[in-house]
Amino acid sequence: MNKTFGLLFYLKKSKVDAQGKSPIYMRITVDGKRTEISSKRTIESERWSNEGNKAIGRTEDVRELNAYLDSLTTKVYQSQRDLIQDNKPVTSETLKNKLLGVEDKERTLISIFETHNKQVEKLVGREFSAGTLERYKTVSKHLQDFIKIQYKVSDVGIKKVDHQFITDFEFYLKSVRNCGHNSTIKYIKNFKKIVRIALANNWINRDPFLNYKVRLKEVERQYLSQEEIQAMLDKNLHTPRLDQVRDIFVFCCYTGLAYSDVKKLTKDNLVFGIDGDKWIKTKRTKTDTRSSIPLLPTALELIKKYENHPEAVTRGVLLPVLSNQKSNAYLKEIADLCEINKNLTTHLARHTFATTVTLSNGVPMESVSKMLGHKSMKTTQHYAKILDRKVSDDMAILKQKFADRAIIEASKKIAN
């Protein structure tokens, strides 16, 4: 984009010295915005030509002064070319800084990351979850450790980040940190946001991720069968805490709510839906998307069971949910007692809702996606891929239809 550009020298007559000389200033104007720089030279006003933009006369000192002003002019145009070549903005201020040697200090990767994390921290609870902040902090720490090992320094200039840097960091995460493929890619995705910030601010000229292509590997999600859910419900557990954790887990199996979402539920989230029955309406902590879930009888019974529980009443929540760490520890004990040979976690309940409770029973994927609060249908489709049992059940119905048809045809032949 073309910019209007102007350069002139003039006398600042308001600053006449004791010898009657005025300082010569250089004015640079870009797109109507101007800045002034002292030439560090002075001259009598009668020896200066405003029209010629130079000193008047043929004396040696006049020739030297005009030659000096010409050299300043050359420096301005050279600075302009340098800024364009470096893909930096050409403004009156950047030209002034270039001439005075006041270059922008190179931004460094970790300092940018730390500034970003401080901003995220101030928005936790409004635009970001505490978990999101923790992931960004983890990536920043991994990057700091990687830089110390790879470059023997505590930080590197953001321009140092290139394709090789990214692939070396990926290898470091997988080898030194022993991260799995998907965890590694998620960390790098968080790192990529910092690079996008640098690009947006013109701190780097080229996206180092341009030719970096990786994909998450498909992971088989575990979930409970209907028989396993029933086994948990029927089990007489020996402590109130186990009973409580089991009930919250089952509640999540029948609502699809993630741990962070069920923990923050209040009576305000319990509303009457379009059908006149009770629903839960809430916003997902992770994605800030709306979830609307009609409550199944088992979920309603559990809400009724805990409506006067001391922990729920004291905290003003719908259910008395323990910490995620304690819940997962108790769930492992419950799995052993119920003889369920699966890694029971609070999140497995969400998978169970998507597969066993809804999709396996013919609930359309669009409805499941809305209840889960997914932003994209692709996320919901991952659950549909693992429903071999549903495929088997559907094919069994088809086989039965063929068998019934064969019996009818055979009967007709006998009758004839």
From first to last of the 416 residues of the chain, give the pLDDT tens digit. 457 888 999 999 889 898 889 999 999 999 989 999 999 999 999 999 988 889 998 899 999 999 999 999 999 999 888 888 877 778 888 888 888 876 666 789 999 999 999 999 999 878 887 888 999 999 999 999 999 999 999 999 998 999 999 999 999 999 999 999 999 999 999 999 999 999 998 888 889 999 998 887 766 678 899 999 999 999 998 899 999 999 999 999 999 998 888 999 999 999 998 888 999 998 877 767 788 899 999 999 999 999 999 988 999 999 999 998 999 999 999 999 999 999 899 889 988 998 889 888 888 888 888 888 877 777 676 666 555 555 666 677 778 888 877 777 777 677 66
Cα(257)–Cα(282) distance, rounded to whole angstroms? 10
Looking at residue 339, what is its pLDDT? Answer: 92
Looking at residue 53, what is its pLDDT? Answer: 87
Q: 3-state class of 225 per DSSP? A: coil
Cα(283)–Cα(142) distance, rounded to whole angstroms? 31
Cα(264)–Cα(321) distance, rounded to whole angstroms? 9
**Angle formed at CA 413 by CA 409 and CA 416, multiple of 5 degrees:** 140
Looking at residue 297, what is its pLDDT? Answer: 93
Helices (H) and strands (E) in the chain, counts: 16, 8
Cα(309)–Cα(320) distance, rounded to whole angstroms? 7
Cα(28)–Cα(8) distance, rounded to whole angstroms? 7
Looking at residue 118, what is its pLDDT? Answer: 95
Shortest CA distance to 221 belongs to which of 52, 341, 354, 333? 354
Q: What is the DSSP letter of 52?
A: T
Q: Is the pTM of this model over 0.75?
A: no
For the chain, the domains span: 5-100, 109-200, 226-385
H-helix segments, 156-225: 163-175, 181-200
Looking at residue 220, what is its pLDDT? Answer: 66
End-to-end alpha carbon distance in the chain: 89
**For residue 283, what are the β-bridge partners?**
290
For 226-385, CATH number out of 3.40.50.920, 1.10.443.10, 3.40.50.300, 3.30.930.10 equals: 1.10.443.10
